[in-house]
Amino acid sequence: MNWRALTAPAARTLYPVHRLHGVILLLLLLFTLLLGMGNSLHSRLLWVGEQTWPDYYLLNPDATEPSCQLEMDVDAEVKKRVEAYQPDPDDLFSSPPNPEAIRQSLERNLELCQQEYALYEQNLEHATPALGLFKTIEQGLADFLLDNIELTKYLFIAMFAMAAAIAALDADHIALRLPRNRAEWRFSQATQFVVNGMMVGSLNAYLGKLASSPGSEGTVDLQYAWATVFGLFMVINAVRFVNVPERMKNGRLALSSGLVMPLYCAMGLIAMSYFFFVDGYASGLAIYFGMMSNLSSMFINIGLYVLVGMVLKQTRLPELLLNVIKPFNLPAPMLASVIIFATAFPTAFTGASGIFILAVGGVVYDELRRAGAGRQLSLATTAMSGSLGVVLNPCLLIVVVAALNKEVTTTEMYSWGFWVFIMSASLFSLIVCKTQGNWKPRPAPGAFRTSLVQMKPLVPYVLVGAAVILAIWAILGLKFNEYSAPMILPLVMLALVFLDAGSDRRELGETRLRAFWKRSSYAASDSAVHIGALLALIGFSICLGGILERSDIVHALFPENLTSPWIAMLVIVVMLTFIGMVMDPFGAVILVSATIAQPAIQLGIDPLHFWIVCLVAFELGYLSPPVALNHLLTRQVVGETEVLAAERTGTFWHRYERLLLPLAVMGPTLLLVAFVPMLFYAL
């Protein structure tokens, strides 16, 4: 795989383009997007109705005339009821009616009847065809939203099924390395078949328990849906086991062949081994993986963020932004530093670190190499470009933390996260400039003016993006923030793709609409592969975390006689970093919320401090062996050949700088973030 080919300016995808799959997934994501905006749309309709028709909530175009008696002689009616009374000889407590009580009741009924007639007359006055049509639409939307509260779970399962099936067909599940011969290919497919089969078995065991539980019909339907999905994966693995690609040469398994096993399979094997052999909990995999259904909205947002990242790759935005700094002729170390600062914010807008690397990692690597950076520095910068922004607004990971833990708010975490980012990015710049040399910029004459000229092509993108955000606010009343970003950003990016599909950037004879549709389906096709790989990793990360939740590990690490918050923080730093090394961040957050967070807080660690430490530890984990997820995704974008070539020459530092540089930055950052704040509240 050639790194220059990957970053060519033409619109392309890194994976085989499954046009039909891409189109279906795009439509599915857009439908979930509209469903997510349904509540905002209904609220907006209610607001419009109230502004157009006073007392809209009380108006009913189909109102019928009240049947109550509007005119009544109260005195005569009271007298009639009193005279009609006859005592019951069998009732010891029978007493004559109270005339005053009867009078008050009749007068109250008259008032209510008058109000009903007044409302009826008001309905007659405003009962226009326009009100009837508007009321039908508004009530129809309300009924649809109420009747389909559970629909999100099934949409998520459908999205996961399609995306993971495509990842399985393309053999693109995340692994430590790719298969290099036919034996390794079959080993990878066989392990996937076994893990998917274990999941089906666990689901069957769970269904057996649910059969005797009353009121579990909805849960049973979900489990049957999951069983169907994993059964489909088994069929795909069996087919791919038999049909080995022609590019695979003959060969044997070696000691290193275990690295081709997808990470989700390793997690599934470990989790099932514990649940079955140690805990006697055969339904454990099904129960913990099923937690994704309960948090389906969050995982759909991950899919939408992946779509944002892949759509971003189909635009010229990354190149146009880099063109702004090119006139300054920055040397490689300085350019790496600028990229770290500049890419953190779009990383936050793509929801999680890996998505940004998949979207524009090739462009980042390309520009660093053109500036003279070595392969190792380019790889390290590309991996870290998708990491430091996870503490910035509106990153989805912090929204998940705040949703699961009421002790912290997104505002507090974003505020402190910004300063943590400044510290880590500054430390990166210092280390790179000290270790690389030739870091001083030498801009050409007129560089600043040239840079301003390069900003001109960005103006239409800014205006279109702002117009979409304002239009959504005007139509739906939905403001752009960390909660609405997953719904708004896909629409913004699709609008930018439509803008980017101009006459000077499309093929001869191709219309703008056709170019837009082609690029959108390409983006959805890429999204399918990455959504499937990421969600499979997240799901089995949660299963792996179930071991920590059901075992006594947390009690052993935080015994009752442990009272020092300093020792507790040291244990937390080591434990969270290890979790970040082997688990996906979203699954890790769910695990930490359920197990480690409360014991740590009870030992005197401030909740906000704990979660900031948690995010920084996860950042370090993304970049640390043995898994180093960000490095795996960088390899997936840049190509394994480039990574292997980078380790052939130079000193130990320069041969492994792609691994050592991130550790040298994030290690000290984590220690500072973990222990310095405790000087102010734990002494």
Q: What is the pLDDT of residues 612-669, one digit of tens each?
A: 999 999 889 888 887 777 888 888 778 777 777 766 666 777 778 888 999 999 999 9
In a domain, 39, yes or no: no
In this prediction, residues 6-21 reach a mean pLDDT of: 46
- 261: pLDDT confidence band, cut at 50, 70 and 90? very high
Q: Are residues 157 and 292 in the same domain?
A: yes
Kindly tell me if the per-residue pLDDT of 504 is higher than 90.
Answer: no
Model pLDDT, residue 202: 94
In this prediction, residues 316-323 reach a mean pLDDT of: 85
Domain final residue, candidates 274, 296, 318: 296
Kindly tell me if the per-residue pLDDT of 547 is higher than 90.
Answer: no
Kindly tell me if the per-residue pLDDT of 477 is higher than 50.
Answer: yes
Residue with tokens 């704040």: 677
In a domain, 432, yes or no: no
pLDDT in tens, 151-170: 888 888 988 998 888 888 88
> Three-class SS of residue 213?
coil
In a domain, 638, yes or no: no
Residue with tokens 């909990």: 281
Model pLDDT, residue 12: 40
Kindly tell me if the per-residue pLDDT of 15 is higher than 70.
Answer: no
Model pLDDT, residue 242: 92
In this prediction, residues 182-192 reach a mean pLDDT of: 94
Model pLDDT, residue 352: 59
Q: Are residues 142 and 53 in the same domain?
A: yes
- 580: pLDDT confidence band, cut at 50, 70 and 90? confident
Give the span between the Cα atoms of 534 and 309, in whole angstroms. Answer: 14
pLDDT in tens, 327-382: 888 888 888 888 888 888 878 876 555 777 877 787 788 888 887 888 888 888 88
> Three-class SS of residue 103?
helix
Domain final residue, candidates 147, 179, 209: 147
Domain final residue, candidates 147, 169, 201: 147
- 474: pLDDT confidence band, cut at 50, 70 and 90? confident
Kindly tell me if the per-residue pLDDT of 149 is higher than 80.
Answer: no
Of the two residues 590 and 269, the one the predictor is more confident about is: 269
Of the two residues 62 and 276, the one the predictor is more confident about is: 276
DSSP 59-81: --TT-----S-----HHHHHHHH
- Domain residues for 214? 151-296
Q: Are residues 155 and 289 in the same domain?
A: yes
Kindly tell me if the per-residue pLDDT of 7 is higher than 80.
Answer: no
Give 52-60's long-range contacts (Cβ < 8 A, gap of 24+). 52/134, 53/126, 53/131, 55/122, 58/119, 58/122, 59/122, 59/123, 59/126, 59/127, 59/131, 59/135, 60/123, 60/135
Q: Are residues 79 and 178 in the same domain?
A: no
Give the span between the Cα atoms of 492 and 308, in whole angstroms. Answer: 9
Q: What percentage of the chain reaches a pLDDT higher than 90?
A: 22
| Contact of 639 with 382, CB cutoff 8 Å | no
Tokens linked to 249: 């040469």
Q: How many domains would you assign to the chain? A: 2
Q: Are residues 211 and 291 in the same domain?
A: yes
Q: Are residues 166 and 272 in the same domain?
A: yes
Q: Are residues 281 and 156 in the same domain?
A: yes
DSSP 310-368: HHHHTSSHHHHHHHHHGGG---HHHHHHHHHHHHHHHHHHTSSHHHHHHHHHHHHHHHH
Average pLDDT over all residues of the chain: 83
Beta bridge partners of 175: 262
| Contact of 623 with 631, CB cutoff 8 Å | yes
Model pLDDT, residue 305: 82
In a domain, 73, yes or no: yes
Model pLDDT, residue 271: 92
Kindly tell me if the per-residue pLDDT of 93 is higher than 90.
Answer: no
Q: Are residues 210 and 259 in the same domain?
A: yes
In this prediction, residues 525-533 reach a mean pLDDT of: 83
In a domain, 652, yes or no: no
Q: Whole-angstrom distance between the N-terminal and C-terminal Cα of the chain?
A: 55
